[in-house]
């Protein structure tokens, strides 16, 4: 979605004086782990958060990653991949290539993969992105009578005139879009026990439809899966509003008659509480995979730099973006061009092509049966 400003981070207040204590409490609540004793895992994380003031997201890196190679059989890596684990006999950091990433995954040397995705993974499913000239949503909103395109996602405008937003929501809903090969590749990562967390900017919910469980998802900009009354804050399942939306009626709360808004993050709204999981997930990651995003929207974009410098980052994208363009690391691997082709190439090198095709067929049959 459009530009959520950096100040949105202030909603979580993690960097204020003594802020690590409240952050520890909130993250513990998100994870459902409560407040453990002095020797518990949560306490370890809370203590290490002290370092956040000078190195955001550097949560106990040495402790959390100390077991990255422990207890595994010896592995034969390429020279550049070996240098990650200090087994190459050369302390010089060598550039990685796509084949090195493949070898690390195949050897189970990367078992905590964090994924970041944007609109580029949903456009193959028929959902337009926001910024592409001519085809993006912002280029085609004149019909809604907006003072400027971004107004459709502003609370003040929504409160005054919610009809344009719900007209757009209806248009997207009636497309009945389905997950594509990218979504199912990420599902396969989960099925193989490699997916630590998937952070998505998309509000279409296709990650859920592909079968990735909600516990593995952080929908940074919300989704249509749930909705909330703008007056009394009564929550409801997102499906409850679609009967009204498809009939061009504004959804109203049955209790107070306030407007019911899908839990999509508008400009100036705080990001979902689950976004706090990034302070735990990114320091634990041993591979960061970034797909189909411009890395322009904050604070989501800054997460691309939250993994430690020794962790490989793989960008599969149409363009070179964010820190991959202006502050690349030696462990960065970039696969530019069509994102679907890039993911299919990665699956082929991993030897997962048949598994991926079988998964797509299985899930497509399920969706076909559900639509009958």
Is 110 labelled a binding residue? no
Give the pair of three-digit tokens for residue 49: 């958060």
Q: Are 192 and 165 in contact (CB under 8 A)?
A: no
Active site residues: 221
Angstrom distance (rounded) from CA 337 to CA 197: 25
Dihedral sign of CA atoms 127, 131, 136, 141 in order: positive
- 57 marked ligand binding residue: no
229 annotated to a ligand binding site = yes
Q: What angle do CA 11, 14, 19 make, to 5 degrees?
A: 120
Q: Rounded to an integer, what distance in angstroms lies between the CA atom of residue 211 and that of residue 197? A: 14
């Amino acid at each position: 979605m459009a530009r959520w400003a950096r100040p949105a981070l202030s909603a979580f207040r993690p960097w204020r004086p003594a802020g690590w204590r409240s952050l520890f409490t909130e993250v513990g609540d998100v994870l459902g782990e409560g407040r453990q004793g002095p020797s518990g895992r949560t306490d370890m994380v809370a203590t290490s958060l002290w370092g956040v003031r000078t190195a955001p997201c550097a949560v106990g890196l040495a402790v959390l990653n100390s077991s990255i190679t422990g207890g595994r059989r010896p592995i034969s890596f390429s020279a550049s991949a070996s240098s990650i684990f200090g087994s190459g006999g050369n302390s010089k950091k060598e550039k990685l290539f796509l084949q090195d990433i493949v070898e690390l995954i195949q050897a189970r040397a990367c078992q905590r993969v964090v994924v970041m995705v944007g609109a580029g993974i949903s456009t193959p499913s028929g959902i337009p992105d926001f910024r592409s000239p001519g085809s993006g949503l912002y280029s085609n909103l004149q019909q809604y009578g907006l003072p400027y395109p971004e107004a459709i996602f502003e609370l003040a405008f929504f409160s005054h005139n919610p009809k344009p937003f719900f007209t757009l929501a209806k248009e997207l809903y009636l497309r009945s879009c389905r997950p594509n090969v990218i979504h199912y590749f990420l599902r396969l990562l989960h099925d193989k026990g490699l997916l630590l967390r998937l952070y998505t900017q998309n509000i279409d919910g296709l990650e859920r439809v592909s079968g990735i469980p909600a516990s593995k998802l952080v929908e940074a900009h919300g989704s249509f899966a749930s909705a909330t009354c703008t007056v009394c804050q009564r929550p409801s399942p997102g499906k409850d509003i679609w009967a009204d939306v498809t009939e061009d009626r504004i959804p109203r709360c049955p209790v107070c008659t306030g407007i019911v808004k899908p839990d999509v993050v508008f400009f100036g709204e705080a990001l979902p509480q689950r976004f706090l999981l990034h302070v735990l997930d990114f320091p634990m990651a041993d591979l960061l995979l970034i797909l189909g995003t411009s890395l322009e929207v904050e604070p989501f974009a800054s997460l691309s730099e939250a993994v430690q410098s020794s962790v490989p980052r793989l960008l599969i994208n149409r363009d070179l973006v964010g820190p991959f363009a202006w502050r690349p690391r030696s462990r960065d691997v970039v696969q530019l061009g069509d994102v679907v082709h890039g993911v299919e190439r990665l699956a082929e090198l991993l030897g997962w092509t048949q598994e991926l095709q079988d998964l797509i067929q299985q899930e497509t049959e399920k969706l076909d049966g559900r639509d009958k």
